């Protein structure tokens, strides 16, 4: 795959994509990679100012982009993001669910509101966008859904109960969609990054966990967001007979199981 200074082949010319959580990190990098690959890209997130800057960047490079600010935990916002994508760009071929949040989630003295917040964004936000996008894809006769999960969805830990539970649920919900929709030419993929250099730790309420996660995602050899974006373009460029249903991307230096 090309490096950051190389132009990506226009493998997705004529396609329309919606990327949630596009104001930073994996979502932002994915939107840029999809646009480089020729797709018209709609982007949704809560930070409208960042989305505007991203639209300008894509359009300056000759791409097509539109910002649709919204909160994916609000079902009406999620549905509106899909409907405005269709109305503005003429359809929706690709949905990338990248909106997500991490919070500490131990059970002792736990803040149950934080559990709800994590599950509302990571799981229900994904459900809302998929439920809105699938009818359009079925009507067209094809589509691609890629959900950004996490390797944390495969195992829990002392302070990751909320996050791991939400991502485990996302993994199984996403694979259920694959089985439900595959015979109608809708491909569904779960992408599970390991340590990736993003802002995921910045808003963690617990100060100790915030420090630990920020160190984890900024360690030497951590995956870059663009690495994930380029992998998504690769997944989408495969022949339609091929569904990459699950992919894990971790730092080379991470040799854990």
Q: Which runs of consecutive H residues, i.e. helices, occur in 10-74?
A: 25-36, 48-60
Query: Rounded to whole angstroms, what are the CA distances from 89 to 7, 64, 65, 85?
Result: 23, 9, 9, 6
The 8 Å CB, 24+ separation contacts for 100-104 are 100/21, 100/125, 100/148, 100/200, 101/200, 101/203, 102/163, 102/200, 102/201, 102/204, 102/213, 103/162, 103/163, 103/204, 103/205, 103/206, 103/209, 104/159, 104/160, 104/162, 104/204, 104/205, 104/206, 104/209
Task: Pull the structure tokens for residue 182.
Answer: 């595959």
Judge contact between 40 and 13, C-beta under 8 A.
Answer: no
Distance CA 188, CA 151 (A): 18
Task: Pull the structure tokens for residue 55.
Answer: 């639209």
Please identify which of the residues 19, 163, 171, 190 carries the catalytic annotation.
163
Judge contact between 194 and 248, C-beta under 8 A.
Answer: yes
* Cα maximum dimension of the chain: 52
- Catalytic (active site) residue 128: no
Catalytic residues: 163
């Amino acid at each position: 795959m090309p490096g950051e200074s190389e132009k990506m082949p226009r493998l997705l010319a004529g396609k329309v994509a919606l990327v949630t959580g596009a104001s930073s990190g994996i979502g932002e990098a994915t939107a840029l990679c999809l646009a480089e690959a020729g797709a018209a890209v709609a982007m949704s997130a809560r930070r409208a100012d960042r989305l505007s800057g991203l639209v300008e960047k894509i359009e300056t490079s000759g791409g097509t982009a539109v910002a649709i600010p919204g909160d994916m935990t609000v079902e009406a916002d999620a549905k509106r993001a899909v409907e405005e994508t269709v109305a503005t760009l003429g359809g929706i071929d690709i949905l990338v669910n990248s909106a997500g949040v991490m919070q500490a989630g131990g059970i002792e003295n736990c803040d149950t509101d934080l559990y709800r917040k994590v599950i509302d964004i990571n799981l229900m936000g994904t459900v809302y966008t998929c439920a809105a996008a699938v009818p359009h894809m079925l009507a067209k006769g094809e589509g691609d859904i890629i959900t950004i999960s996490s390797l944390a969805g495969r195992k829990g830990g002392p302070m990751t109960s909320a996050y791991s539970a939400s991502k485990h649920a996302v993994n199984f919900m996403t694979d259920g969609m694959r089985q439900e929709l595959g015979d109608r030419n809708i491909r569904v993929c779960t992408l599970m990054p390991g340590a990736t250099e993003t802002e995921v730790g910045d808003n963690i309420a617990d100060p100790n966990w915030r420090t630990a996660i920020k160190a984890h995602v900024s360690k030497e050899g951590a995956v870059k967001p663009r690495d994930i974006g380029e992998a998504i373009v690769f997944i989408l460029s495969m022949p339609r007979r091929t569904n990459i249903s699950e992919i894990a991307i971790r730092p080379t230096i991470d040799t854990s199981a």
